[in-house]
Structure 1
Amino acid sequence: MRVEIWSDIACPWCYVGKARFEKALAAFPHQERVEVVHRSFELDPGRAKDDTAPVIAMLAKKYGMSEAQAQAAEDNVGAQAAAEGLTYRTRGRDHGNTFDMHRLLHFAKEHGRQGELVQALYEANFAEEESVFGDDERLVKLAVGAGLDENAARAVLADPTAYADDVRADEREAAQLGANGVPFFVVDRKYGVSGAQPTDVFTQVLTTAWDERSPLTLIDRAEGEGEGEACGPDGCAVPQH
């Protein structure tokens, strides 16, 4: 069974939603047969790479609220993150373009390290003091920490076309699926879960999707015929006619 998660590193609810989903997955009896794939979704795709701003100022401007209201909103997210066991800095964070992070995540997927890198990026953005925006060296360090080759990661960041098409393809697919915000979870291409839902919602959808999977119907002989020849651990059957 496959679970695809559309998200953005700049999205606090993606950080919280990932933790809630992973709690459900950890308790799911078939977790070893669930493949998790992270997909790209930029919340601010038109933002220039070198354009960073304090989170509070960005929220106030974007949603037409006072900075005090924006801070209260951040404090609320921080409290919910803490309830999931996450570290969340509600003061001093900044916001910027995430396109290069998404390109690196596609690179990491090719090398089987996507899960490690997405977690490293979330923790760097929400829990650590050093910014992840507009700093290629910071991203290279995070990539290496996630188990990726330093020179290869540096080469990806140096080439603005590397994995760019993969990011755009993910974003087009999100639009086709009706996702206009993140996090957005798609389970077995049958169920969609929008937002950082409670853990029990993820438990329910994982269980439902698993139970509804079509069982394999085995047809091992045609009408009026004997068993078909096949190869197995003990060798290959030799036709007797």
Structure 2
Amino acid sequence: MLVEIWSDIACPWCYIGKARFEKGLAEFPHRDRVRVVHRSFELDPNRAKGDTGSVVDMLARKYGRTREEALAMEEHVASNARAEGLGYRTEGRDHGSTFDIHRLLHLARARGRQDELLNLAYRTNFADERSVFDDEVLIALAVEAGLDEAEARAVLAGDAYADEVRADEREAAELGANGVPFFVFDRRYGVSGGQPAELFTQALEQAWKGRETVPATADDAPACDADGACEVPEAAR
């Protein structure tokens, strides 16, 4: 069975949702027969390479909050991440264009190392003190994931896999994905948002039974939308 996951490295609910999905997958009896493919979705596709800024400052501007309130919003998301055993820094993180990261993830997929690179990119962006928007950091992550350094450098220096990234994004739009994470199970069942692990197990079981296609469900789960806004529960605003 094929599971496709549209996500962006800048999306905290994608980071959390991946961990929850993997916990749900671990409870699925046929997990050894599931193939997972990660697909590209940029929250800010028009952002220029090199245009980076503080995540906290961005949140304050986006939601019209003070910096202290934006930090509280980040802390609420961090508590969800930590509950899944994930590291999460609330200060000192930046954000920028994720296009090159997606291109490298396509290279990693072609070399059978996609999940390894994605995990490293998430950890670096949300938990480490390095910036994932630095080319040398990306190269180091690619090598750590098992990719050839020269090949990774060649991808970043040119436009390799650009078409693949855009094709993923077009397909997401065709499927009606207005935000991420967005999970599609064997093209039969769709789930949006960072749902609890139990729901992912149920989705896997339903798709395995071969039921007819149903609409994407669970719209109340936290997610990041196509305009780059990441949902924060009211209590944290």
Aligned positions of 1:90-239 closer than 5 A: 90-133=90-133, 135-159=134-158, 161-212=159-210
Q: Which residue of 2 aligns with 1:217?
A: none
2: distance between equivalents of 1:170 and 1:197?
22
1: distance between equivalents of 2:182 and 2:71?
25
Residues 140-199 of structure 1, C-alpha deviations (whole Å, 9 max, x = no match): 00000000001000100000x210000000001001111111000000111111100011
Alpha-carbon shift at residue 82 of structure 1 (Å):
0.6
Paired residue secondary structure (2:85): coil
Q: Which amino acid is the alignment partner of residue 45 of structure 1?
A: P
Question: Do 2:124 and 2:132's aligned partners in 1 also have CA atoms closer than 8 Å?
Answer: yes
Q: How many residue pairs are counted as aligned between the two chains?
A: 212
Q: Which consecutive unaligned segments of at least 5 residues does structure 1 have?
A: 215-241
Q: Which amino acid is the alignment partner of residue 99 of structure 2?
A: F
2: distance between equivalents of 1:130 and 1:113?
21
Alpha-carbon shift at residue 27 of structure 1 (Å):
1.7
Q: Which amino acid is the alignment partner of residue 100 of structure 1?
A: D
Alpha-carbon shift at residue 213 of structure 1 (Å):
6.3
Alpha-carbon shift at residue 76 of structure 1 (Å):
0.5
Paired residue secondary structure (1:36): strand
Paired residue secondary structure (1:152): helix
2: distance between equivalents of 1:168 and 1:112?
21
Paired residue secondary structure (2:60): helix
2: distance between equivalents of 1:77 and 1:65?
16
Asked if 1:18 is matched to 2:8, the reply is no
Q: Which residue of 1 aligns with 2:233?
A: none
Which of structures 1 and 2 has the bigger CA Rg? Answer: 1
Question: Do 2:188 and 2:211's aligned partners in 1 also have CA atoms closer than 8 Å?
Answer: no
Normalised by the length of structure 2, the TM-score is: 0.87
Between the aligned residues of both structures, percent identity stands at 69
Q: Which amino acid is the alignment partner of residue 169 of structure 1?
A: A
Q: Which amino acid is the alignment partner of residue 8 of structure 1?
A: D
2: distance between equivalents of 1:44 and 1:206?
30
User: What is the Cα-based RMSD across aligned positions, in Å?
Assistant: 1.1
Q: Which amino acid is the alignment partner of residue 108 of structure 2?
A: A
1: distance between equivalents of 2:109 and 2:45?
21
Q: Which amino acid is the alignment partner of residue 102 of structure 1?
A: H
Larger relative contact order (CA 8 Å, sep ≥ 6): 2
2: distance between equivalents of 1:112 and 1:33?
17
Q: Which residue of 1 aligns with 2:216?
A: none
